[in-house]
Amino acid sequence: MPSVANQSFYKVKPNVLQLIDSFHQGGTERQAVQLARLLHESGRYHVHVACLKGEGVLRDEVLRLGLADIPEFPLTSFYDANMARQSRRFARLLREREIDVLHTHDFYTNVFGMAGAVLARAPVARIASRRETRGMRSRAQKFIERRAYAHAHAVVANAEAVRRELISEGVRDSKIVTLYNGLDLNRVTTPENSEREETLARLSLSGAAGKRLVTIVANMRHPVKDHKTFLRAARRVRAEIPDAAFVLAGEGELLESLRAYAAELGLESDAFFTGRCAQVAELLKASEVCALSSTHEGFSNSILEYMAAARPVVVTDVGGAREAVIEGETGYIVRAGDDESMAARIISLLREPLRAREMGARGRQVVEENFSCAAQLARTEELYEKLLATVRDGKHAQAAQVTERTQAIL
């Protein structure tokens, strides 16, 4: 009979758990759900998904993968009895399902997931993530997240800008892996023969018929998206381009205050707030120019969607914007908060439609070459296999020690 150290320690397919905060339609959540689907379709892993909150429109996409269930671990605080109870439940899940790789995706899942994995005392490859630079977390939150990173075997950054931020906060360079967001090009593909008027009607934008649309797709939950700068730029654009209109697609608690701000700027008849938009592809196809006005970002999914839809972009110089946008070729990059420069660039694109189309086509090419789902999957699998090999070596070493001690006793 072979010694324990020589026996196989791995199942045919490793068990991989994606821990997601919720299934709301945010950039982080969409990337996590997309990764779960890609890994499942690859056939190389048994994919598991768990969450902190079970609500959200993306849940149905996970259910379509045919997973047995989606365990939920609701939290009220990191410092109460419920946190301890949920951590024990999560540790038990890791052991019972023999999870080989744990991949968390944001602040809350980083902290909760790493704590549960340590508590489980199981040989799990632990991967945390950072998808933002500044402006989102308090000093106390950053402190507790650094503690979580200390327990991770790797920390995924979705842009080099995010990587640099992590290093500045004291995370070891060798632990950080840059994995860019991937974009499913089908998400921004529409039938070629679709009529613009019909599209606008389906989007409840009939009031914008006959106008040229400048669009921003960004959630309205966080002030860092800085929609007010976009609206101030919109006022400048409308003064020069009377047939311009502006679409703000996104949901969140800031929506009504932004609607009021648009009215204050005199844009009540030219600024259209769609709320959550399930037909992003159609909206982008109906748009002439797309913008993003954030003061802080990690790596924006919206920018990739704009470019994949072959639309020229005007975006602020934050996060990984320069890693996606080629200045003057696929769009323009302006300073955060600079509504004057943003407006000037939008105006130039509206006045030069041929150049705008050429820039949009180049943007589509950049996404196809550098930010495809295939590239995202390949880089993620490479990371998983590297960490699995490390954990496997650790298991063998531990087993060898047990064997040596047993033989010594005999």
- Residue range 344-402, pLDDT digits in tens: 999 999 999 999 999 999 999 999 999 989 999 999 999 999 999 987 665 544 444 43
- Are both 395 and 338 inside the same structural domain? no
CA nearest neighbour of 103 among 54, 33, 160: 33
- Are both 96 and 149 inside the same structural domain? yes
- Are both 153 and 170 inside the same structural domain? yes
SS3 label, residue 155: strand
Q: Is residue 1 part of a domain?
A: no
- Are both 177 and 290 inside the same structural domain? no
**Residue 98, phi then psi, degrees to nearest 5:** 50, 50
**Both tokens assigned to 259:** 């609607």
- Are both 241 and 324 inside the same structural domain? yes
With beta carbons less than 8 A apart as the criterion, state whether 270 and 244 touch.
Answer: yes
The residues, any chain, with a CB within 8 Å of residue 355's CB and separated by 6 or more, are 349
Quote the pTM value: 0.78
Tally the domains of the chain. 2
- Are both 286 and 177 inside the same structural domain? no
Average pLDDT of the chain, as a whole number: 89
pLDDT at res. 197:
85
Q: What is the CATH number of the domain that holds 204?
A: 3.40.50.2000
Domain that residue 271 falls in: 186-370
- Are both 354 and 397 inside the same structural domain? no
**Both tokens assigned to 343:** 């407006």
Residue 10 pLDDT greater than 70, yes or no: no
Q: Is residue 56 part of a domain?
A: yes
Q: Is residue 6 part of a domain?
A: no
The residues, any chain, with a CB within 8 Å of residue 209's CB and separated by 6 or more, are 196, 197, 200
Q: Is residue 161 part of a domain?
A: yes
Q: Is residue 253 part of a domain?
A: yes
With beta carbons less than 8 A apart as the criterion, state whether 290 and 246 touch.
Answer: no
Q: Is residue 5 part of a domain?
A: no
d(CA 168, CA 190): 42
d(CA 165, CA 61): 32
- Are both 191 and 281 inside the same structural domain? yes
Q: Is residue 3 part of a domain?
A: no
Location of structure tokens 């671990």: 73
For the chain, what percent of residues have pLDDT higher than 70? 91
d(CA 358, CA 92): 55
With beta carbons less than 8 A apart as the criterion, state whether 376 and 33 touch.
Answer: no
Location of structure tokens 């990587």: 163
- Are both 157 and 233 inside the same structural domain? no
Averaged pLDDT for residues 64-78: 91
- Are both 226 and 341 inside the same structural domain? yes
- Are both 233 and 283 inside the same structural domain? yes
Q: Is residue 7 part of a domain?
A: no
d(CA 97, CA 160): 34
Averaged pLDDT for residues 166-170: 93
Question: Measured between alpha carbons, how far apart are the two ends of the chain, in Å?
Answer: 16
- Are both 42 and 177 inside the same structural domain? yes
